[in-house]
Structures are given as structure tokens and as C-alpha cells.
Amino acid sequence: MTEITVRPMNVKDITQAVNIHKRVIREGLSQDLDYEITELFVSFIKKTPKTCLVAEINNNVAGFIIGVIKEWGFGVERSGWIEMIEVDPKIMGKGVGKSLGEALIKYFTDEGIKEVYTSVKWDSGDLIAFFKSIGFDKSNFINLEYKSD
């Protein structure tokens, strides 16, 4: 079995995380988008370092998860939110995502958080199955969208 180590993300991990993101979305990022995603990671590391994690296999970043704790919002008590989770497509199915999800949920519960949320597109069956495998189910939220012309 492959040994997976989960730890807080640091700035040295960002290049590997961006490369995983590129492989997951299966398209190249323009230099502007490459810069924006890099800045997004830097921002999360600075603001929420304990909820921004990477999984390593053989000292290489194999995946990452970014979460936040929200103290407010639409009638919900203090809650945890998974904003993003990605695993290198070459090693999906090896427990990396599960290790990341379980580590972040443990952190949230250790902080006294009883509810953790995420948002998934309705037709992302593989992602829905993943979240169900780590204990998620449908919530009472309905996502609403506004599209401008």
C-alpha cells in the first residue's frame, strides 16, 4: 500500500498544486490564469493555513484540499466548507482524496464544527460518489445562479 502523508500546504507546494490543477482540468492555463491560481493558493495559505492541505507520496504532492471555516451565512451556524479538492489524475483511486477529506473533516470536528459543506455540479457523478464515500449526503441547500446577458 502506498504511504500517503497529509500536511499543511506551503508556498513551495504551489507549483506542484497548479500542475495538478492543469492535469485535472485537462487544459493549459494561460499565463494570466496560471498567475491567478497561484495567487489564490497564496491567499488561502495566508488566510487559512490549517485548512489548506496537501497529500504527499514519495515527497511529491499528489493532491490538495482547500477548506474554510465560515462563522456566518444564511441561517447556518459556524461550519466548515470544502472549496476545492484535486488529486493528480495519474493516481486517482489510491486513497489520496479520502486521506485529504478525512484530515480536513477531522480538523473541522476538532474545532467543534458539526456541519461541513461543499458544492458539486449535479452531473459530476464521480465527485458525488467520492463525497458520499467520506460521509457526505444531500443538504438542505439549493444552489441558485444568476446569469447576466
pLDDT band at 37 (very low <50, low <70, confident <90, very high): confident
Q: What is the mean pLDDT of residues 102-107?
A: 98
Domains of the chain from N-terminus onward = 5-133 (3.40.630.30)
pLDDT band at 109 (very low <50, low <70, confident <90, very high): very high
Whether residue 99 contacts residue 80, with contact meaning beta carbons closer than 8 Å, is answered with no
pTM, rounded to two decimals = 0.89
CA 47 from chain centre, in angstroms, equals: 15
Q: Is the pLDDT of residue 45 over 90?
A: yes
The reported pLDDT for the residue numbered 85 is: 96
